[in-house]
Amino acid sequence: MADKTTLQYTAEHEWVLVDGDVATVGITAYAADKLGDVVFVDLPAVDAEVDGGTVVGEIESTKSVGELFAPIDGTITEVNEAVVSSPELVNSDPFGDGWLVKVRFTALPDDLMSFDEYSALVGGE
């Protein structure tokens, strides 16, 4: 499980873990809770080019369908096939086994938030 306090966050309720030039992306526990029980996850293909801020997939729950946004520009290097076959991982372990994609990037956007900034946005995480 990723340490929530060392991750970066987006206003779209995604977390980003940077390791060199690859970022692992998932949705926060706050987002997973608001979605409800996740029943389907659609992720982009490996090697797909993504633009930060654009929709790259969707997460469907018993309540609604949410869009997955790319938090950064780059190339998808890996998708989490485990969440495709077991979407409930997004709810049960959003900061661990429920990660969604890995993106190779050249620059991080400057609008990523710290844990404290994200916690203030959602009223505690």
Residues 21-44 pLDDT 10s: 999 999 999 999 999 999 999 999
Q: What's the domain range around 80?
A: 7-105
Query: Rounded CA gap, 21 and 7, in Å?
Result: 15
The verdict on residue 119 lying in a domain is no
Domain count, the chain: 1
The verdict on residue 112 lying in a domain is no
Cβ distance 67 to 58 under 8 Å? yes
The verdict on residue 51 lying in a domain is yes
The verdict on residue 19 lying in a domain is yes
Cβ distance 27 to 10 under 8 Å? no
Helix (H) or strand (E) holding 118: helix 115-122
The verdict on residue 45 lying in a domain is yes
The verdict on residue 78 lying in a domain is yes
Partnered with residue 103 across adjacent β-strands are 23, 76
pTM higher than the cut 0.75: yes
Q: Walk across the sheet containing 49-50 and list its strands.
A: 8-9, 14-19, 22-27, 101-104, 74-79, 49-50
The verdict on residue 15 lying in a domain is yes
Residue 5: per-residue pLDDT:
86
CATH number at residue 50: 2.40.50.100
